Amino acid sequence: MAHYLSKKNKQRFSIAYIVLFALFGFYIFNTYQNLQNSIKQSKIDTIISDYNLYEKVFEKRLKKDLLIDNPNYINTDELVDEYAKSTPLYINKKNKQDTKYNLTIKYFDKSKRHSIDIEEKIALLGKNAFVYTFNDNSVELFGKISNKGYVNIIKQFEQLFILKEILNSSILVISTIILINIFIFFYLLTLFDEHEEVKKKMHSQYEKLSLDAKSIAMVDTLTGAYTRIKFDEDLNNLLQLAFRFKEQTFCLMILDIDNFKSVNDTHGHDYGDIVLKEISSTIQQNLRKTNYFYRWGGEEFVILMPMNKLNKSIVYAEKLREKISQIYFKKIEQVTCSFGLVEFKSTDDEKTLLKRADELLYEAKKNGKNRVSY
């Protein structure tokens, strides 16, 4: 489930990243288009200003050299002075050949005949004062000059080339950013995969530690017998089977070390632990494969015997009682155990079963110890 959720989060991250990346790309593209349009509009506005200025100069100072084809437009001082004052970029008069504007202005007298190309442009004018076209490297304007003729202005834009280079450089930078983002995206996906592997390993280690912890909790460290936690679990399982299937009967046996308190009082708790270990070892050595052995608490132990009837369990309990009584201890002459043995009844539950076994154990103690009551 954890892996599924993580995979789902990974998919969500991928979608979100792609959407953001697409929005970023759209924003860059839109900004680029707007900048291109702004540049285009500014150049159109500039050539219209040139047209208006030419018309103004034409009306005020009519000169012959103003009306001829003039590629660089530098041989009329009056026009250059007025043009320089009316534009934000100053033209250096001392070096007029090195201008920032490469301008071609050609005048066409209205009374003369012109080429087909010019006649078509005149026809396009109609009632308009001027028309313009925008090309890759220049902008061209064709317009009326008073009532005397027409002017064709072609303006090459070196600055436009510079801006294009800047834009192209920007595109290169943006492309680099895009590639870096793609790299980061796949790197993050790799990190997700690595994170998944780390989570799997941690989960595996956690499960192993949980099993180890459970194993520790299930086994008594002193005697090696199962604990009460394990006993409760196993007894519940046996009860469920016995309730469901009549043939799944079982027996429960409680045994208690006789006079164990005197052992601790006389020889100390360390020697008492030795006694507990020896008895537990003897029981485990004589334990059937199908039986389960638990430390109930202190000097009390419990044995569960699945699929066993009372008569067979009595024989086993007597054998076990005799084996325990034969254990040799250096400081103690003999150690014995008393047993309370019961077989499951249909009216039993966990409490009644244990109560019956405990009462029989008490009876064995009362009747002289070292015996099996059933």
pLDDT at 260: 95
Amino acid at 170: S
**Cα–Cα nearest to 151, from 73, 214, 221:** 73
Of 98 and 202, more confident: 202
Cα separation, 46 vs 55, in Å, equals 14
Amino acid at 242: A
pLDDT digits (tens, 9 = 90+) for 92-112: 444 444 444 467 788 888 888
Amino acid at 12: R
If one counts every other C-beta atom within 10 angstroms of the C-beta of residue 311, the result is: 10
pLDDT at 77: 55
Beta bridge partners of 1: none
Of 243 and 7, more confident: 243
Cα separation, 144 vs 110, in Å, equals 9
Residue in this structure with the two tokens 């009549």, named with its chain if needed = 246
CB 368 within 8 A of CB 335: no
For the chain, domains (ranges, CATH) are: 2-162 (no CATH), 228-373 (3.30.70.270)
Residue 165 pLDDT class (50, 70, 90 cuts): low
Catalytic residue numbers read 299
Q: Does position 296 have pLDDT exceeding 50, yes or no?
A: yes
Strands 337-343 and 372-373 come out as parallel
Which range, 88-102, 110-124, 167-181, 191-205, is most confident?
A: 110-124
Q: What is the pTM of this model?
A: 0.48
Q: Does position 238 have pLDDT exceeding 50, yes or no?
A: yes
